[in-house]
Chain A
Amino acid sequence: MNPEQILSSFKESLGEKVLDDRTVERKVGTVAPKSVYDLWLTVDRSDLHDAVAYLCAEYNPHLTVISGDDLGDDVAFNYHFTTGWGERYGEATLTIRTVVPKNDFRLPTICDLLPGAQTSEREKHEFFGLEVEGIPDDRNLFLPEDMTIHPWRKDLQAETDKQVKRLVKWEERDE
């Protein structure tokens, strides 16, 4: 399975919507090294649903997790997919990255395309305060139900720190 094919087919189908793409090739194996690939793709927030729909239609992906990166004024969300499982050396990771501004903090859900995304989206909702439009269930998952803080937001750290209980003082570094 050729990873270049994946990225070029994305570019063909989505055209201008693909803002940035990158292929990282690594060698594994000590006896007869072979290549494995990590693919990175950036799309705009409004095209996210289309990109994931295209992925689900063509490539039968597996969603690992959604990770978030607080960049200051906006937050970048990385949707970590993998595609091509089932065959030896057939899988490649494909991360679709989208940047969301904090003053308009919402994203469409992909639970209609991939029901397994629910856990990740709920986690982003509670840890970042992201509003996921159309999610079937938006209660807090890991944090207590009445919790209102968003621990992963770097600009809301003061609020978070007020509610954190530290058991041990660590070398004055946890202030």
Chain B
Amino acid sequence: MNNRSIDLEVGGSTACYSVPVGPVHPALKEPIRFQFELDGERIVGVDIKPGFVHRGIEYMGMRRNLIQTLYLAERICGICSISHPLAFTQAVENAAGIEVPPRAQYIRTIIGELERIHSHLLWAGIGAHELGFDTLLHLVWKVREKAMDLLEQLTGNRVDYAIPIFGGVRRDIPKEKAPLAYEALDYYKRLLQDLIDAFLHDKSVEMRTRNIGVMTYDQAVALCAVGPTTRASGVKKDVRVDMPYLAYADMDLHAITPEDYGTEPIGDVFDNIIVRLLEVGQAIEIIEFCLENLPEGELTSIPKVPALLAALKKASGEGIGRHEAPRGEVFHYVRLEEDVEEMAVWKVRAPTYGNLIGWVPKFLGDEVADIPIVAASIDPCMCCMDRVHLVDGVGAESVKTKTELVRLSREKTRRICG
């Protein structure tokens, strides 16, 4: 019988003082509060308190009809913005029994993989910034702009693309746009080796990331970590491979671990960099496959929105939708009731939610100087993770209409401009 308890404490020394990091701190791109117990520079204890970007999304989603909730789901996060709609539409389609045409599946995959490229490059830049290596931050983010431009050309928006709808997609990728996509992919193919050189062959980066923030294979499995974080420890968990969906079901993919680079997986920050950069390469291949094999056909199985809403209202059942977001497995659970427009249950589980407790073994034993890079190594997306209420602790209910809000903001602008 496996012993699944893991050591979440570092023994042997007394904590001298406690340093809070967050909710506002230059190392954190989103608010979360850590409380570190330090012995000199060594971390001996960590307490994590999320919940600062809690917005009431599931609460709101269960009071709106499904298409309104779809827009809400997209705005759970800006960086992984299509991951939530992809999982959500899957869940509802499974619950209601709606089919998705092949062309729509491939288009969803293309946009999903483009998002993976831009998200991993964003992470690489942030990681460099946490290390103090601002040069790499600026250069990588400059490179990332090509993916953002392509996304804007294909979908009309840099984030929040509004592509999936229940039963298909809302916009097409016509043949005329394919050359744009190929040009961007060539650009990345040429630059990928330079990126890998810049990060993985740099001595100062290696000094700062090797054997830092280690999460072993057993810890990763016991703590149910997901995504590149767990693949860096050698655990081959990847929803696209284990339980394929969309166009991934037609491809022969494998979960990328540091073994693909030739090194033994240790689960440190360096392995995280390896996995994410190699996944950019894998994403490029997937997009090329999808563009070449894009099937003809309709874009959505129920084109008229009123008909769609009627079909969803009549549907009943439970559905699970899973997608491999850039940060890991995104999971949506939906239960629909017959003749009720809203969902009965909607549970969103973002990847950072699963990796949250994985932070604890990663931090223990490292130094204060490693806090930013270890915090960034799981690629945290707090806004995906915190979802529910906007609460006013004092208890007074304050309802403002939209016109009033606009008036207030204009007043403030006038005040500032004086």
A-side residues, CB < 8 A to B, are 24, 26, 28-34, 36, 38, 40, 56-57, 60, 62-65, 67-69, 78, 80, 82, 84-93, 95, 112-119, 127, 140-147, 149, 151-152, 160-169, 173-174
Contact = CB atoms under 8 A, between A and B. Distances in A.
29 contacts: A28-B244, A28-B249, A30-B105, A30-B249, A38-B94, A62-B221, A64-B329, A65-B347, A65-B353, A67-B345, A67-B347, A68-B347, A69-B335, A78-B333, A80-B331, A89-B242, A90-B242, A91-B242, A93-B320, A113-B4, A115-B6, A142-B50, A142-B387, A143-B391, A164-B56, A165-B391, A165-B397, A166-B399, A169-B402
Given A85-B236, A169-B399, 12 more contacts: A28-B246, A29-B249, A33-B249, A56-B4, A64-B322, A65-B331, A65-B354, A80-B331, A82-B243, A114-B222, A116-B354, A166-B397
A26 B93 CA distance: 11
B353 A143 contact: no
A90 B400 CA distance: 51
A169 B398 CA distance: 10
Contact of A30 (B49, B50, B102, B347): B102
Contacts of B235: 86
B364 to A, nearest CB: 14
B222 A169 contact: no
B21 interface: no
A57 B2 CA distance: 7
B256 to A, nearest CB: 14
Interface in B104-138: 105-106
Interface of B: 1-2, 4-6, 8, 49-51, 54, 56, 58-59, 63-64, 94, 102, 105-106, 221-226, 235-237, 239, 241-247, 249-250, 252-254, 295, 318, 320, 322, 329, 331, 333, 335, 344-345, 347, 349, 353-354, 356-357, 386-393, 395-402, 405
A164 B221 CA distance: 38
A163 B391 contact: yes
B357 A168 contact: no
A115 B5 contact: yes
